[in-house]
Protein backbone atom coordinates (compact mmCIF):
# COMPACT_ATOMS: atom_id res chain seq x y z
CA UNK A 1 0.00 0.00 0.00
CA UNK A 2 1.30 3.42 -0.97
CA UNK A 3 0.50 6.69 0.85
CA UNK A 4 -0.15 10.20 -0.39
CA UNK A 5 -0.46 13.56 1.32
CA UNK A 6 -4.08 14.71 1.38
CA UNK A 7 -4.22 18.02 -0.42
CA UNK A 8 -2.37 20.96 1.10
CA UNK A 9 -1.56 19.16 4.34
CA UNK A 10 0.99 16.80 5.82
CA UNK A 11 -1.65 14.13 6.46
CA UNK A 12 -0.72 10.81 4.83
CA UNK A 13 -3.55 8.60 3.64
CA UNK A 14 -3.51 5.20 1.97
CA UNK A 15 -4.00 5.11 -1.80
CA UNK A 16 -7.32 3.34 -1.25
CA UNK A 17 -9.99 4.54 1.16
CA UNK A 18 -12.45 2.05 2.66
CA UNK A 19 -16.03 3.27 2.35
CA UNK A 20 -18.35 2.36 5.21
CA UNK A 21 -21.77 2.91 3.61
CA UNK A 22 -22.50 -0.84 3.54
CA UNK A 23 -21.68 -1.38 7.21
CA UNK A 24 -24.76 -2.20 9.26
CA UNK A 25 -26.85 -2.59 6.12
CA UNK A 26 -25.49 -4.93 3.44
CA UNK A 27 -22.94 -6.22 5.97
CA UNK A 28 -23.60 -7.07 9.60
CA UNK A 29 -21.54 -5.59 12.41
CA UNK A 30 -19.19 -8.53 12.92
CA UNK A 31 -18.31 -8.86 9.24
CA UNK A 32 -17.89 -5.09 8.92
CA UNK A 33 -15.46 -4.96 11.83
CA UNK A 34 -13.58 -7.92 10.37
CA UNK A 35 -13.25 -6.10 7.04
CA UNK A 36 -11.95 -2.94 8.70
CA UNK A 37 -9.31 -4.97 10.54
CA UNK A 38 -8.29 -6.69 7.29
CA UNK A 39 -7.93 -3.27 5.68
CA UNK A 40 -5.74 -1.95 8.50
CA UNK A 41 -3.65 -5.11 8.52
CA UNK A 42 -2.99 -4.66 4.78
CA UNK A 43 -1.70 -1.12 5.28
CA UNK A 44 -4.90 0.82 4.68
CA UNK A 45 -5.42 3.72 7.07
CA UNK A 46 -8.22 5.81 5.51
CA UNK A 47 -11.90 5.11 6.31
CA UNK A 48 -14.85 7.18 5.11
CA UNK A 49 -18.32 7.28 6.64
CA UNK A 50 -21.12 9.81 7.30
CA UNK A 51 -23.61 10.64 10.02
CA UNK A 52 -26.54 9.50 7.84
CA UNK A 53 -25.16 6.16 6.68
CA UNK A 54 -27.59 3.53 7.99
CA UNK A 55 -29.00 6.05 10.47
CA UNK A 56 -25.67 6.44 12.26
CA UNK A 57 -24.97 2.71 12.55
CA UNK A 58 -22.03 2.95 10.15
CA UNK A 59 -20.24 5.43 12.42
CA UNK A 60 -20.92 3.21 15.46
CA UNK A 61 -19.43 0.16 13.73
CA UNK A 62 -16.35 2.10 12.61
CA UNK A 63 -15.94 3.33 16.18
CA UNK A 64 -16.05 -0.20 17.58
CA UNK A 65 -13.62 -1.48 14.97
CA UNK A 66 -10.95 1.16 15.58
CA UNK A 67 -11.35 1.40 19.35
CA UNK A 68 -7.98 -0.18 20.08
CA UNK A 69 -6.28 1.07 16.89
CA UNK A 70 -7.32 4.71 16.80
CA UNK A 71 -3.83 6.09 16.22
CA UNK A 72 -3.52 4.02 13.01
CA UNK A 73 -6.61 5.41 11.35
CA UNK A 74 -7.58 8.55 9.44
CA UNK A 75 -11.33 8.75 10.02
CA UNK A 76 -13.46 10.83 7.67
CA UNK A 77 -17.13 11.57 8.24
CA UNK A 78 -19.70 14.09 7.02
CA UNK A 79 -22.46 16.45 8.08
CA UNK A 80 -25.39 18.16 6.31
CA UNK A 81 -28.16 15.63 5.55
CA UNK A 82 -31.35 15.49 7.60
CA UNK A 83 -30.93 13.49 10.81
CA UNK A 84 -34.26 14.25 12.50
CA UNK A 85 -37.73 15.80 12.11
CA UNK A 86 -36.94 19.27 13.48
CA UNK A 87 -36.25 22.34 11.31
CA UNK A 88 -32.63 22.56 12.42
CA UNK A 89 -31.81 18.88 11.96
CA UNK A 90 -30.00 19.46 8.66
CA UNK A 91 -27.70 21.94 6.94
CA UNK A 92 -24.61 23.87 7.98
CA UNK A 93 -25.79 26.34 10.60
CA UNK A 94 -23.46 26.76 13.56
CA UNK A 95 -26.06 24.98 15.69
CA UNK A 96 -26.34 21.95 13.36
CA UNK A 97 -22.60 21.55 12.87
CA UNK A 98 -21.88 21.84 16.59
CA UNK A 99 -24.56 19.27 17.39
CA UNK A 100 -23.54 17.07 14.48
CA UNK A 101 -19.88 16.84 15.37
CA UNK A 102 -20.68 15.90 18.98
CA UNK A 103 -23.12 13.22 17.80
CA UNK A 104 -20.55 11.79 15.38
CA UNK A 105 -17.80 11.83 18.02
CA UNK A 106 -20.07 9.87 20.36
CA UNK A 107 -20.97 7.28 17.74
CA UNK A 108 -17.34 6.94 16.61
CA UNK A 109 -16.26 6.63 20.25
CA UNK A 110 -13.39 9.05 19.74
CA UNK A 111 -12.47 12.55 20.86
CA UNK A 112 -11.45 13.83 17.43
CA UNK A 113 -12.36 13.45 13.76
CA UNK A 114 -9.47 13.50 11.29
CA UNK A 115 -11.44 14.80 8.30
CA UNK A 116 -14.84 16.47 8.72
CA UNK A 117 -16.60 16.97 5.39
CA UNK A 118 -19.50 19.07 4.19
CA UNK A 119 -21.69 16.49 2.44
CA UNK A 120 -23.53 18.71 -0.10
CA UNK A 121 -23.72 22.48 -0.63
CA UNK A 122 -26.24 24.25 1.63
CA UNK A 123 -27.97 27.08 -0.24
CA UNK A 124 -29.46 28.52 2.97
CA UNK A 125 -26.53 28.93 5.37
CA UNK A 126 -23.89 31.54 4.42
CA UNK A 127 -20.57 29.85 3.77
CA UNK A 128 -19.01 32.44 6.12
CA UNK A 129 -20.97 31.02 9.05
CA UNK A 130 -20.05 27.47 8.10
CA UNK A 131 -16.32 28.07 7.66
CA UNK A 132 -16.03 30.04 10.91
CA UNK A 133 -17.77 27.20 12.76
CA UNK A 134 -15.42 24.63 11.21
CA UNK A 135 -12.46 26.82 12.14
CA UNK A 136 -13.65 26.80 15.75
CA UNK A 137 -13.89 23.01 15.68
CA UNK A 138 -10.33 22.70 14.42
CA UNK A 139 -9.13 25.16 17.07
CA UNK A 140 -10.94 23.16 19.75
CA UNK A 141 -9.29 19.90 18.65
CA UNK A 142 -12.54 18.10 17.86
CA UNK A 143 -11.68 18.18 14.15
CA UNK A 144 -8.21 18.02 12.58
CA UNK A 145 -8.95 18.87 8.92
CA UNK A 146 -11.97 19.82 6.82
CA UNK A 147 -13.17 18.86 3.36
CA UNK A 148 -16.23 19.05 1.14
CA UNK A 149 -18.20 16.68 -1.06
CA UNK A 150 -20.39 17.12 -4.14
CA UNK A 151 -19.58 20.83 -4.50
CA UNK A 152 -19.54 22.79 -7.74
CA UNK A 153 -16.28 24.51 -8.64
CA UNK A 154 -17.57 28.00 -7.80
CA UNK A 155 -18.87 26.78 -4.44
CA UNK A 156 -15.55 25.27 -3.45
CA UNK A 157 -13.60 28.28 -4.70
CA UNK A 158 -15.86 30.65 -2.77
CA UNK A 159 -15.15 28.69 0.41
CA UNK A 160 -11.40 28.50 -0.24
CA UNK A 161 -11.22 32.23 -0.96
CA UNK A 162 -13.10 33.11 2.21
CA UNK A 163 -10.80 30.85 4.25
CA UNK A 164 -7.64 32.28 2.73
CA UNK A 165 -8.70 35.93 2.95
CA UNK A 166 -9.63 35.58 6.62
CA UNK A 167 -6.79 33.22 7.57
CA UNK A 168 -9.22 30.46 8.53
CA UNK A 169 -9.05 26.69 8.06
CA UNK A 170 -9.51 25.62 4.41
CA UNK A 171 -10.68 22.47 2.66
CA UNK A 172 -7.87 20.00 2.05
CA UNK A 173 -10.06 17.63 0.04
CA UNK A 174 -13.19 17.16 -2.01
CA UNK A 175 -15.19 13.97 -2.42
CA UNK A 176 -16.88 13.92 -5.86
CA UNK A 177 -18.37 11.15 -7.94
CA UNK A 178 -15.63 10.16 -10.40
CA UNK A 179 -14.83 7.09 -12.48
CA UNK A 180 -14.15 6.03 -16.05
CA UNK A 181 -17.87 6.41 -16.77
CA UNK A 182 -18.43 9.60 -14.78
CA UNK A 183 -15.77 12.16 -15.66
CA UNK A 184 -17.84 15.35 -15.35
CA UNK A 185 -15.34 16.63 -12.78
CA UNK A 186 -12.74 16.96 -15.55
CA UNK A 187 -14.44 20.16 -16.68
CA UNK A 188 -13.71 22.38 -13.70
CA UNK A 189 -13.31 20.55 -10.38
CA UNK A 190 -10.12 18.62 -11.15
CA UNK A 191 -8.29 21.60 -12.69
CA UNK A 192 -9.31 23.67 -9.66
CA UNK A 193 -8.08 20.97 -7.27
CA UNK A 194 -4.75 20.83 -9.07
CA UNK A 195 -4.40 24.61 -8.97
CA UNK A 196 -5.38 24.92 -5.30
CA UNK A 197 -3.73 21.69 -4.11
CA UNK A 198 -6.96 20.09 -2.91
CA UNK A 199 -7.01 16.29 -2.55
CA UNK A 200 -9.59 14.30 -4.51
CA UNK A 201 -11.16 11.22 -2.93
CA UNK A 202 -13.72 9.93 -5.45
CA UNK A 203 -16.85 8.02 -4.56
CA UNK A 204 -18.37 5.40 -6.90
CA UNK A 205 -14.97 4.71 -8.53
CA UNK A 206 -16.37 1.69 -10.36
CA UNK A 207 -19.58 3.44 -11.39
CA UNK A 208 -21.81 2.03 -8.67
CA UNK A 209 -20.94 -1.50 -9.78
CA UNK A 210 -21.33 -0.89 -13.52
CA UNK A 211 -17.63 -1.47 -14.21
CA UNK A 212 -17.68 -4.90 -12.55
CA UNK A 213 -18.87 -6.26 -15.90
CA UNK A 214 -21.72 -8.27 -14.40
CA UNK A 215 -24.39 -6.16 -16.12
CA UNK A 216 -25.31 -6.79 -19.76
CA UNK A 217 -26.40 -4.28 -22.40
CA UNK A 218 -30.10 -4.57 -23.19
CA UNK A 219 -30.84 -6.57 -20.03
CA UNK A 220 -32.40 -4.66 -17.13
CA UNK A 221 -30.85 -6.11 -13.96
CA UNK A 222 -33.02 -7.78 -11.33
CA UNK A 223 -30.23 -8.12 -8.76
CA UNK A 224 -27.26 -6.04 -7.66
CA UNK A 225 -26.94 -2.39 -6.69
CA UNK A 226 -28.02 -1.02 -10.07
CA UNK A 227 -31.26 -3.02 -9.98
CA UNK A 228 -32.68 -0.79 -7.24
CA UNK A 229 -30.51 2.32 -7.50
CA UNK A 230 -32.00 5.78 -7.93
CA UNK A 231 -30.64 9.04 -9.34
CA UNK A 232 -26.91 8.84 -10.00
CA UNK A 233 -26.91 5.13 -9.21
CA UNK A 234 -29.86 4.14 -11.38
CA UNK A 235 -29.70 1.69 -14.28
CA UNK A 236 -31.33 4.28 -16.54
CA UNK A 237 -28.48 6.69 -15.83
CA UNK A 238 -25.65 4.17 -16.22
CA UNK A 239 -26.82 1.99 -19.10
CA UNK A 240 -25.97 4.08 -22.16
CA UNK A 241 -23.99 3.14 -25.26
CA UNK A 242 -20.95 5.22 -24.30
CA UNK A 243 -20.63 3.54 -20.92
CA UNK A 244 -20.83 0.08 -22.46
CA UNK A 245 -18.06 1.05 -24.91
CA UNK A 246 -15.91 2.05 -21.93
CA UNK A 247 -16.78 -1.19 -20.13
CA UNK A 248 -15.73 -3.26 -23.15
CA UNK A 249 -12.37 -1.47 -23.23
CA UNK A 250 -11.90 -2.16 -19.51
CA UNK A 251 -12.73 -5.83 -20.05
CA UNK A 252 -10.25 -6.07 -22.94
CA UNK A 253 -7.44 -4.64 -20.83
CA UNK A 254 -8.39 -6.89 -17.90
CA UNK A 255 -8.21 -9.96 -20.11
CA UNK A 256 -4.83 -8.90 -21.48
CA UNK A 257 -3.21 -8.66 -18.06
CA UNK A 258 -5.11 -11.26 -16.03
CA UNK A 259 -6.91 -8.79 -13.78
CA UNK A 260 -10.60 -8.18 -13.16
CA UNK A 261 -12.47 -5.19 -14.64
CA UNK A 262 -12.82 -3.76 -11.11
CA UNK A 263 -9.08 -3.88 -10.55
CA UNK A 264 -8.37 -2.27 -13.92
CA UNK A 265 -10.91 0.54 -13.34
CA UNK A 266 -9.46 1.29 -9.91
CA UNK A 267 -5.86 1.12 -11.12
CA UNK A 268 -6.63 3.68 -13.81
CA UNK A 269 -7.79 6.03 -11.05
CA UNK A 270 -4.83 5.26 -8.80
CA UNK A 271 -2.49 6.43 -11.51
CA UNK A 272 -4.36 9.61 -12.44
CA UNK A 273 -2.40 12.65 -11.28
CA UNK A 274 -5.20 14.55 -9.55
CA UNK A 275 -6.64 11.58 -7.64
CA UNK A 276 -5.55 10.99 -4.05
CA UNK A 277 -7.51 8.00 -2.79
CA UNK A 278 -10.58 6.36 -4.41
CA UNK A 279 -13.26 5.26 -1.94
CA UNK A 280 -14.29 1.66 -2.51
CA UNK A 281 -17.15 -0.14 -0.84
CA UNK A 282 -17.70 -3.86 -0.41
CA UNK A 283 -20.55 -6.03 0.80
CA UNK A 284 -18.44 -9.17 1.23
CA UNK A 285 -14.86 -10.12 2.00
CA UNK A 286 -14.60 -11.50 -1.54
CA UNK A 287 -15.43 -8.07 -2.99
CA UNK A 288 -13.01 -6.48 -0.54
CA UNK A 289 -10.16 -8.73 -1.73
CA UNK A 290 -10.93 -7.96 -5.36
CA UNK A 291 -10.76 -4.23 -4.70
CA UNK A 292 -7.52 -4.58 -2.75
CA UNK A 293 -6.06 -6.37 -5.76
CA UNK A 294 -5.94 -3.04 -7.60
CA UNK A 295 -2.77 -1.91 -5.77
CA UNK A 296 0.84 -3.00 -6.15
CA UNK A 297 0.98 -2.88 -9.96
CA UNK A 298 0.44 -0.41 -12.80
CA UNK A 299 -1.31 -0.38 -16.12
CA UNK A 300 1.11 0.14 -18.98
CA UNK A 301 1.17 3.60 -20.49
CA UNK A 302 -0.65 2.38 -23.60
CA UNK A 303 -3.33 0.62 -21.55
CA UNK A 304 -3.87 3.65 -19.35
CA UNK A 305 -4.08 5.93 -22.39
CA UNK A 306 -6.54 3.58 -24.11
CA UNK A 307 -8.94 3.86 -21.18
CA UNK A 308 -8.36 7.58 -20.80
CA UNK A 309 -9.06 8.23 -24.47
CA UNK A 310 -12.29 6.24 -24.72
CA UNK A 311 -13.70 7.72 -21.52
CA UNK A 312 -12.72 11.38 -21.89
CA UNK A 313 -15.34 14.11 -22.21
CA UNK A 314 -16.12 15.66 -25.59
CA UNK A 315 -14.42 18.94 -26.42
CA UNK A 316 -16.53 21.91 -25.33
CA UNK A 317 -16.47 25.66 -24.91
CA UNK A 318 -14.77 27.47 -23.24
CA UNK A 319 -12.12 24.79 -22.70
CA UNK A 320 -11.43 24.21 -26.38
CA UNK A 321 -11.26 27.98 -26.95
CA UNK A 322 -8.87 28.60 -24.06
CA UNK A 323 -6.56 25.79 -25.18
CA UNK A 324 -5.51 27.99 -28.12
CA UNK A 325 -4.11 30.62 -25.78
CA UNK A 326 -2.02 28.46 -23.46
CA UNK A 327 1.53 29.72 -22.95
Give a three-class secondary structure readout of the chain.
CCEEECCCCCCEEECCEEECCCECCCECHHHHHHHHHHHHHCCCCEEECCCCHHHHHHHHHHHHHCCCCHHHCEEEEEECCCCCCCCCCCCCCHHHHHHHHHHHHHHHCCCCEEEEEECCCCCCCCHHHHHHHHHHHHHHCCEEEEEEECCCHHHHHHHHHHHHHCCCCCEEEEECECECCECHHHCCHHHHHHHHCCEECCECCCHHHHHHCCCCCCCCCCCCHHHHCCHHHCHHHHCCHHHHHHHHHHHHHHHHHCCCHHHHHHHHHHCCCCCCCCEECCCCHHHHHHHHCCCCCCCCHHHHHHHHHHHCCCCCCCHHHHHHHCC
For this structure, is 317 an active site residue? no
- Other residues' Cβ atoms within 10 Å of the Cβ of residue 102: 11
**Which one from 53, 145, 178, 215 is the annotated catalytic residue?**
53
CA proximity to 102, closest of 145, 68, 51, 171: 51
Contacts of 315 (CB under 8 A, 6+ apart): none
Q: Which residues are catalytic?
A: 53
Amino acid sequence: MQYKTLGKSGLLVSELCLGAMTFGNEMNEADSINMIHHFLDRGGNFIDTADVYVGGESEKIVGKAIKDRRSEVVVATKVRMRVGPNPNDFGYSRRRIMEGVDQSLKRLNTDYIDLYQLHVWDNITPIEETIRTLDDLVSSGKVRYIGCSNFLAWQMMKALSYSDYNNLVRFISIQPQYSLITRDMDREILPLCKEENVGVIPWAPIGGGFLTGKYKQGETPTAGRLSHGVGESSWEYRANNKNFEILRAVQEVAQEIGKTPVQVALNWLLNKEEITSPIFGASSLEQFEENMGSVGWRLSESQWNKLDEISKLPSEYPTRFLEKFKR
